[in-house]
Amino acid sequence: MVWRVAIVGAGPSGLYAADALTSQSDVPVEVTVLDRLPVPFGLVRYGVAPDHLSIRSVRGTLTKVLERPQVTFLGDVEVGKDVSVSQLSELFDAVIYTFGAARDRALGVPGEELAGSVAATDLVNWYCGHPDAPSAEVEAEVASARQVVVVGVGNVAVDVVRVLAKTNAELDHTDIPQHVLDVLAASNIEDIYLLGRRGPVQAAFTTKELRELGELAEVDVVANPADLVLDPVSQAALADDRVATRNVEVVREWTTRMLSGKPRRIHMRFLTRPIRLIGEGHVSAVEVERTKIDENGAAVGTGEFETIPAQLVVRSVGYRGVGLPGLPFDERRAVIPSIEGRVVDAVDSTQIRPREYVSGWIRRGPSGIIGTNKKDATATVASVLADSATLAPAAGGGRLALQALLADRGIAPIDFAGWERIDAAEIALGAERGRDRTTLHTREGLRVAAL
């Protein structure tokens, strides 16, 4: 008997789950991978910065999973709209939800609602070519800004700073959509401030990403020597954290650099937190407060305030999961509650919901790197396979029944062959301008290319 499994989400978590299912031979499986977008790969395509080619190359590994005969890809199918959670549980023996955490966290400061205040998720979606990106809004803000404030000291914040600061020549080898490349090439951005409420020891970025900021062709990096006067808590933390030690060394070297007159400057501002965004209808400045690290490692205000001019503020203080109709959701943690990957019927409950599983960020929250999702998926798949020995097969007909249901509703999913045609079209589009690839960024364009 073949165990029919649906996976909701074709990003790394979902495809690692498909890999784990189809790499074992104890339980015969048939895997159907659904995604609300017309294309696979999730954050590998729409979250990893386009100029990080080595990380994005994991798409080759994930493609091999989609090529397996036991795996079927159905793109442009939205669970909760085109097919319900309950219908999937009736049609499939198991359903694994891996749709990630796609919403940004708010700063929680006055003025955050002003025009010119943009979520990092929206900016990243724009420069990665996500079909749901608010492109017109983001492009208008990037085009009109001279000073930019980016709030956050994780890798996404560093990505945003780097992409906004790079020259056209430094981005032309990427697959950034052509219209995005044109907007960035014409931008008048001069100063980019990266704000972190705690010190360089507590920052979450990796040393490689941090170091890249100091290697940009037309950028001077400005760092404050006062940020390197470490408090006792930070000093103690360095002893056990090699990444933090390397990060501090990078920032310390920047404090010794002289301005060279390059057209753009990146200002590293640790121990600085935004208090409010200032402006009449549109952001014009950010009021910030100097902080210090207390004995518990928390950032506390010092009462020293400053105003930084900015026409664009990018908030990059983390991702947040969003619930799906028909599934329980932990609003506090922004995850689907589960035990060993098995969905439970409510927060703090131990009552398992049969046939429903969860993996990736929507299971554990937005933490770890891409590879972390592989371990997570393997653990969830172990629960799926263990349950296959005790659960009776579902009454529905699996993939074929789902395809019939969608056809009755006039929904035509994009299959793997359709994705291959999109892939070829993007390569051809890039070749027209001497680039390896140019990302198609609209649903209509993707669907046309898939035909």
Residues 181-233 pLDDT 10s: 999 999 999 999 999 999 999 999 999 999 999 999 999 999 999 999 999 99
Amino acid in position 76:
D
Domain with CATH 3.40.50.720 in the chain: 3-102+321-414
Cα–Cα dist 394/396, whole Å? 6
pLDDT attached to residue 372: 83
The whole-model pTM stands at: 0.94
3-102+321-414 fold: Rossmann fold (3.40.50)
Whether the pLDDT of residue 240 is over 90: the answer is no
Q: What is the pLDDT of residue 399?
A: 96
Tokens encoding 18: 């498909």
Rounded to whole angstroms, the Cα distance separating 396 from 294 reads 58
Could you give the residue range(s) of every CATH 3.50.50.60 domain in the chain? 104-315
- Look over the chain and give the mean of its residue pLDDT values, rounded to a whole number: 95
**415 — phi, psi (to 5°)?**
-90, -175
CA distance 214 to 143: 24
Q: For residue 107, name the pLDDT band (cuts at 50, 70, 90).
A: very high
The mean pLDDT value for 306-311 works out to 98
Q: What is the pLDDT of residue 311?
A: 98
What would the pLDDT profile of 349-397 be if each residue is shown by its tens digit?
999 999 999 999 999 988 777 888 899 999 999 999 999 999 999 988 9
Residues 441 and 227: their CA atoms lie apart, in Å, by 41
Helical H runs in 82-154? 85-91, 120-128, 135-144
CATH of 104-315, one of 3.50.50.60, 3.40.190.10, 3.40.50.300, 3.30.540.10: 3.50.50.60
Model pLDDT, residue 101: 75
Task: Give the residue carrying structure tokens 């709209």.
Answer: 81
Structure confidence at residue 53 as a pLDDT band (50, 70, 90): confident
**pLDDT tens across 255-297, in order?**
999 999 999 999 999 999 999 999 999 999 999 999 999 999 9
List, edge to edge, every strand of the sheet that includes 191-195: 117-119, 312-315, 147-151, 191-195, 264-269, 219-223
